[in-house]
Structure 1
Amino acid sequence: MASVSEFFVCWGIIPAVGLGYSGYSTKKNSLASFYLALLAVICCSVQWYVVGYSLAYSDGNGFIGGLTYAFHRHVLSEPVGTIPAILFSEFQLIFCAAVAAIAVGGACERGRLLPLVPFLFLWSTFVYCPLAHMVWSDNGFFSRMGVLDYAGGTPVHICSGATATALSVYLSHPLFRSRLSKTRTPSHMKLHLPQNTMSQLLALITIWGAWLAFDAGTTMSLNFKSVMAMCVTNTCAAMGALTYIGINYYETGRFSLDSTFLGAISGLVMITPSAGFIGMGTAALFGVVGALVTHQALRIKMTRFALAIRWVDNGDSFATHCIGGFIGTICTGLFASKEVAAYDGTTDIRGGVFFDGNILQVGIQVLEAVIGFTWTFSVSYLLYATIDCIPGLEVLAPDK
Structure 2
Amino acid sequence: MPPGITTLAADKIELSAANTGFMLICSALVMLMTPGLAFFYGGMVRVKSTLNMLMMSFISLGIVTILWVLYGFSLAFGTDVGSVIGWSSAYVGLGDIGVTELWDGYTIPVYVFAVFQLMFAILTPALISGALADRVKFTAWALFVTLWVTVVYFPVAHWVWGSGGWLFEMGVIDFAGGTAVHINAGAAALGVILVIGKRVGFKKDPMRPHSLPLVMLGAGLLWFGWFGFNAGSWLGNDDGIGAVMFLNTQVATAAAMLAWLAYEKIRHGSFTTLGAASGAVAGLVAITPAGGSVSPLGAIAVGAIAGLLCAMAVGLKYKLGYDDSLDVIGVHLVGGVIGSLLVGFFATGGVQSDAKGLLYGGGFDQLGKQAVGVFAVLAYSLVVSALLAFVIDKVMGMRVPEDDEVLGIDQVEHAETAYDFSGAGGGSASRTAAPATGPTDRAGAAQNKKVDA
Q: Normalising by the residue count of structure 2, what TM-score does the alignment of the two structures yield? A: 0.80
Say yes or no: does 1:269 pair with 2:294: no
Corresponding residue for residue 303 of structure 2: 287
Corresponding residue for residue 315 of structure 2: 299
C-alpha separation in 1, matches of 2:361 and 2:66: 43
| CA offset digits 1:173-211 (Å, max 9, x no partner) | 8xxxxxxxxxxx977464623221011011011000110
Decide whether the 8 Å contact of 1:191 with 1:314 is kept in 2. Answer: no
Decide whether the 8 Å contact of 2:80 with 2:163 is kept in 1. Answer: no
* TM-superposed deviation, 1:166: 1.6
Decide whether the 8 Å contact of 2:74 with 2:87 is kept in 1. Answer: yes
C-alpha separation in 2, matches of 1:242 and 1:349: 31
Match for 2:117 among 79, 87, 92?
Answer: 92
* TM-superposed deviation, 1:153: 1.0
The runs of 5 or more residues in structure 2 that have no matched partner are 1-20, 405-453
Question: SS where residue 339 of structure 1 aligns?
Answer: coil
Matches within 5 A, 1:1-400: 1-61=21-81, 62-68=83-89, 69-76=91-98, 77-80=100-103, 81-172=106-197, 188=202, 190=205, 192-223=207-238, 224-303=240-319, 305-306=320-321, 311-341=322-352, 348-390=353-395, 393-399=396-402, 400=404
C-alpha separation in 2, matches of 1:159 and 1:142: 14
- Could you list the structure 1 runs, at least 4 aligned residues long, displaced by more than 6 angstroms after superposition: none
Corresponding residue for residue 418 of structure 2: none
C-alpha separation in 2, matches of 1:75 and 1:378: 36
65-74 vs 317-326, which moves further: 65-74
| CA offset digits 1:81-127 (Å, max 9, x no partner) | 22111111110011111111101223211111111122111111100
Whichever residue aligns with residue 237 of structure 2, its letter is L
Alignment CA distance shift 1:191-1:368 (3 Å): farther
Decide whether the 8 Å contact of 2:79 with 2:88 is kept in 1. Answer: no
Cα RMSD after superposing both structures: 1.6
* TM-superposed deviation, 1:328: 1.0
The runs of 5 or more residues in structure 1 that have no matched partner are 174-184, 342-347
Decide whether the 8 Å contact of 1:172 with 1:188 is kept in 2. Answer: no
C-alpha separation in 1, matches of 2:97 and 2:385: 29
Corresponding residue for residue 344 of structure 1: none
* TM-superposed deviation, 1:252: 4.1
C-alpha separation in 2, matches of 1:215 and 1:39: 24
C-alpha separation in 1, matches of 2:214 and 2:77: 35
Q: State the identity %.
A: 27
* TM-superposed deviation, 1:301: 1.6
